[in-house]
Amino acid sequence: MIWVSWREQRTETLIAVGILAVVALLLVPTGIEMARAYDHDGIAACLGAQPSFGCGDAVRSFQDRFNQISNLLGWLTLLPGIVGVLLAAPFIAQFESGAYRLDWTQSITRRRWIAGKLGLSLGVAVLISVAFIALVTWWRTPLVHLNGRMESSVFDSEGIVAVGYTLFALAVALAVGVVWRRAVAALIVAFMAYFAVRLFVDVWLRQRLTPPLSATWPARKDELAVLRHAWVISERPSDRFGNAVVLRIGDCPDGNLKACFAAHAPGYIHAVYEPASRFWAMQLVEFGLFAGIAVALIAFSAWWIDRRA
Amino acid sequence: MTAAIRTERLGKRYGSTWALRDCTLEVPAGSVTALVGPNGAGKTTLLQLAIGLIRPTAGEVRVLDCAPRADAAALLPRVGFVAQDHPLHRSFSVAEMLKLGRCLNPTWDEEAARARLARLGIPLDRKVGKLSGGQQAQVALTLALAKCPELLILDEPVASLDPLARREFMNTVMEVVSETQLTVVLSSHIVADLERVCDHLVILSQARTLVAAPIDEVLAGHRLLTGPRADVTAVARFHEVIRESHTERQTSLLVHANGQVYDACWEVHEVDLEEIVLAYLGYGAPLELREAVAS
Amino acid sequence: MIQFHLERSGVPAYLQLVQQVRQAIRLGMLRPGDQLPTVKEVVGTLTINPNTVLHAYRQLDLEGLIEGRRGVGTFVAAGAAPPPSDERKELRSALQRWLTRARAAGLDDDAIAMLFSDTLRPPAVSRVA
């Protein structure tokens, strides 16, 4: 059954691996370049306790050089969706074409067939997403040293959440496909659902899954230590207790806004944030969410195939 | 076990439509049974219920004394099945299709399968999608036969094939039947070819079973009566009238004769299988009779 | 070895095979000891149900025309061929004379054939296709 499962999804697996290979080809050269620049320009030293005089400029020029590519990497967040949906395709295609009637009238039971094929698809999905995470994490190491990894577009390709995303996309495609039995349409719908859910989680749900912390500090002072490498959800002027200060129009004409705040009223800043120490907790929560939905959808798909036809 | 397939008031409903209804029949072991009827009569439904691809809504089916779904693990190795339009994995090569069969079946005769394909001139390294229709049908048949089944179920196996491919396909089946005790059930809406190959007949129409009997019996038991235009009640009292048609001067009746037809008013003719099947399916009959047969 | 063929006449398939063997023996094309094709071979040539062949061979066995030898095959029986008798020669010349009369009376070949088959098999039962 293993050979049969593999052979029936060989093409799609190779395409998914190919996509990953192309991404690797694009990332590896710049990754090496960035790592070299990081060492060569002494950025590491700049992050220590006693930054030297030229550090500010060095860091700034380093960031200018590589931030653009880093922003482009934001698009890679679609890759788990593409891979997941792709790996579901052969399964659905068998139902659309009727070829499942051949497999089901050999001597294997329906349950073993489902288990074998699903097992292999899930295994491949996990392997490819882990490789993807490893690649992107490696590439981003210098920038993570500088900026942390809590930022939205960075968070979702570090840690383990991308595995959850891939499994989720796979599961949604399966669930739609076994009910609808139209491969191309199901894959498109599934990808759109993946996109919508990801957007929803990124923009709204993530910060509510783990209620964020808040801090208020005098505007005069430097940013608090806890905010270093944190995900700052909002930051606004406030009074000593953290209540918002509303500036009227005309209060602050052009010029130094900070000085203006300091001059005006209470002169504090209030921030809502998730600290860097919460990285793994949030990763696990989000992974659990996506993987949990995936498991439920896969169980549904398996039940549907076994009972309905 | 004398019946390879036995159904008891078997029925399958999709939504509010019955695809098969109240079907009670037996397919004798060792027979080559033809399952005929127009499209939509329930032939595919019946065969899929027998192999366990779908589940009955009503009644029961037993295949080789097993329940198709509950005993699937025990039954499937003993039954070969070729679904309608002989599904295969188009991107597989022929050799890979054999490997699939080898992996998924406990009993598998690889040499016989390869020998048969070689005899038919089907190359093992060709992709299935690139084969002709007739060759694909032969590959599907080879797969079903290589597991050395006791029962072979073929759903419209030759519907899309040209006459030569049709002949070659049935030839392969007949050769295997002559070598083993294989029971064959094949469904078809082309009756003409069936008389020389099959020895048992089941007629399905509108989800109902109209006939289930050995072909010899069917041929011996049906007669065409012709004569001057007359009332049929007298005849109908003794023999079952399947189809009656009248012109101004002549009446002809196709009857299921209950013994010999002794009535001197009628000229008695034997009828061939295709005419009998068509009569049961309502061809050539006045509308009222067709509806009566259908309900 | 005899080559079988099937026609779409009203005659059942097994009977056609029986008649072809009988005819072959009568004409001397099959002689005692000659082997008949195996069931599988006949099935391979004609694509018919093996039971039909078995039925035909059983019938011929009953008539004493053939015999099966276990593990070897089916063969024409020893006493199968009717010896050419004087009676036959008599009948043949009588038939020749009758044919001359029929032709003189104006019957063509078809009419002669119909007259003969009607007399051989009365018309009450005839196949409709």
Domain carrying residue B52: 3-206
Same domain, C67 and C96: no
Distance to chain A for B110, nearest Cα, Å:
15
Same domain, B200 and B221: no
- Looking at the DSSP assignment, which residues form a beta bridge with residue A50? none
pLDDT above 70 for A268:
yes
C48 lies in a domain?
Answer: yes
C4 lies in a domain?
Answer: no
Average pLDDT, chain B: 88
Q: Which of A101, A109, A111, A308 to mutate to test the interface with B (most CBs of B within 10 A)?
A: A101
pLDDT above 90 for A68:
no
Straight-line distance from the first to the last Cα atom of chain C, in angstroms, rounded to the nearest whole number: 32
C3 lies in a domain?
Answer: no
Specify the pLDDT at position A260: 65
Specify the pLDDT at position C48: 92
pLDDT above 70 for C11:
yes
Each residue's pLDDT tens digit, B193-251:
788 899 999 998 877 788 889 988 888 889 888 888 878 887 888 788 888 888 888 88
DSSP string, chain C: -------SSSS-HHHHHHHHHHHHHHTTSS-TTPEEPPHHHHHHHH---HHHHHHHHHHHHHTTSEEEETTTEEEE-TT-SPPP-HHHHHHHHHHHHHHHHHHHTT--HHHHHHHHHHHHS-TTSEEE-
The amino acid at residue B256 is H
Task: Among B197, B268, B269, select the one facing C48 at the smallest CB separation.
Answer: B197
Distance to chain A for B12, nearest Cα, Å:
12
Q: Two tokens at B178? A: 């002559």
Secondary structure string (H, E, C) spanning chain A: CHHHHHHHCHHHHHHHHHHHHHHHHHHHHHHHHHHHHHHHCCHHHHCCCCCCCCHHHHHHHHHHHHHHHHHHHHHHHHHHHHHHHHHHHHHHHHHHHCCHHHHHCCCCCHHHHHHHHHHHHHHHHHHHHHHHHHHHHHHHHHHHHHHCCCCHHHHCCCCCHHHHHHHHHHHHHHHHHHHHCCHHHHHHHHHHHHHHHHHHHHHHHHHHHCCCEEEEEECCCCCCHHHCCCEEEEEEEECCCCCECCCCCCCCCCCCHHHHHHHCCCCEEEEEEECHHHHHHHHHHHHHHHHHHHHHHHHHHHHHHHHHC
Same domain, B87 and B117: yes
Most confident region among A265-269, B113-117, B272-276, C65-69 by mean pLDDT: B113-117
Last residue of a domain, one of B157, B181, B206: B206
Confidence of residue C82 (pLDDT cuts 50, 70, 90): low
Q: What domain count does chain B have?
A: 2
pLDDT above 90 for B128:
yes
pLDDT above 80 for C87:
no
The amino acid at residue B211 is V
pLDDT above 90 for A194:
yes
From CA B102, how far away is CA B115, in angstroms rounded?
A: 15
- Angle A279-308/A161-180 helices, nearest 10 degrees? 20
From CA A222, how far away is CA A218, in angstroms rounded?
A: 8
Specify the pLDDT at position B123: 94
- Asked if B178's CB is within 8 angstroms of C40's CB, the reply is yes
Same domain, B187 and B271: no
Specify the pLDDT at position B287: 45
**Domain CATH code at residue C36:** 1.10.10.10
Same domain, C100 and C68: no
The closest of B197, B174, B139 to C41, measured between CA atoms, is B174
Same domain, B25 and B54: yes
Specify the pLDDT at position A84: 95
The owner of tokens 């860097």 is A276
Report the percent of chain B where pLDDT is more than 90.
49
Average pLDDT on B276-295 reads 62
B211 lies in a domain?
Answer: no
Same domain, B67 and B130: yes
Neighbouring C-beta atoms of residue B207, cutoff 10 Å: 22
Chain B contact for A228 (CB, 8 A cutoff): no
Same domain, C72 and C90: no
The closest of B153, B5, B132, B38 to B84, measured between CA atoms, is B153
- Asked if B91's CB is within 8 angstroms of A105's CB, the reply is no
C59 lies in a domain?
Answer: yes
Same domain, B230 and B180: no
From CA B144, how far away is CA C108, in angstroms rounded?
A: 57
CB B156 within 8 A of CB B204: no
C127 lies in a domain?
Answer: no
Confidence of residue A250 (pLDDT cuts 50, 70, 90): low
Average pLDDT, chain A: 87
Report the percent of chain C where pLDDT is more than 70.
88
Give the pairing of strands B183-188 and B32-36: parallel
Q: What domain count does chain C have?
A: 2
- Alpha-carbon distances, residue A221 vs A169, A258, A270 (angstroms): 46, 11, 12
Same domain, B66 and B103: yes
Most confident region among A104-108, A166-170, A207-211, B165-169 by mean pLDDT: A166-170
Domain carrying residue C93: 86-120
pLDDT above 50 for B286:
no
The closest of B241, B221, B220, B217 to B231, measured between CA atoms, is B241
Same domain, B136 and B266: no
Average pLDDT on B89-93 reads 94
The closest of B5, B4, B27, B34 to B173, measured between CA atoms, is B34
Window 25-84 of C, Cβ < 8 Å to B: 39-40, 43-44, 46-53
Each residue's pLDDT tens digit, B131-150:
999 999 999 999 999 999 99
Last residue of a domain, one of B175, B206, B237: B206
Same domain, B171 and B271: no
C53 lies in a domain?
Answer: yes
- Asked if B269's CB is within 8 angstroms of C48's CB, the reply is no
The owner of tokens 């793994």 is A280
C128 lies in a domain?
Answer: no
**Domain CATH code at residue B78:** 3.40.50.300
From CA A213, how far away is CA A206, in angstroms rounded?
A: 14
The closest of A175, A174, A110 to A306, measured between CA atoms, is A110
Question: Which of A111-120, B49-58, C27-36 is predicted least confidently?
Answer: C27-36
From CA A265, how far away is CA B179, in angstroms rounded?
A: 102
User: Given phi > 0 = left and psi -120 to 50 = alpha, else beta, which region is A181?
Assistant: left
Specify the pLDDT at position A248: 64
Same domain, C62 and C92: no
Last residue of a domain, one of B179, B206, B233: B206
- Alpha-carbon distances, residue C28 vs A12, C6, C36, C87 (angstroms): 69, 21, 14, 18
- Asked if B100's CB is within 8 angstroms of A4's CB, the reply is yes
Average pLDDT on B155-175 reads 90
The amino acid at residue B110 is E
Report how many helices (DSSP H) and strands (DSSP E) chain B contains, helices first.
11, 13
- Asked if C52's CB is within 8 angstroms of B175's CB, the reply is no
Specify the pLDDT at position A100: 93
CB A279 within 8 A of CB A150: yes
CB A27 within 8 A of CB A136: yes
Q: Which residues of C touch B272 (CB under 8 A)?
A: 10, 127-129
pLDDT above 50 for B289:
no
Q: In chain B, whose CA is at the least distance from the CA of A97? A: B87
- Asked if C128's CB is within 8 angstroms of B275's CB, the reply is yes
Query: Between residues B288 and B277, which one has the greater pLDDT?
Result: B277
pLDDT above 90 for B33:
yes
Inspect the structure and tell me whether chains B and A have 3 or more CB pairs less than 8 Å apart.
Answer: yes
B140 lies in a domain?
Answer: yes
Same domain, B244 and B201: no
pLDDT above 70 for C106:
yes
Confidence of residue B288 (pLDDT cuts 50, 70, 90): very low
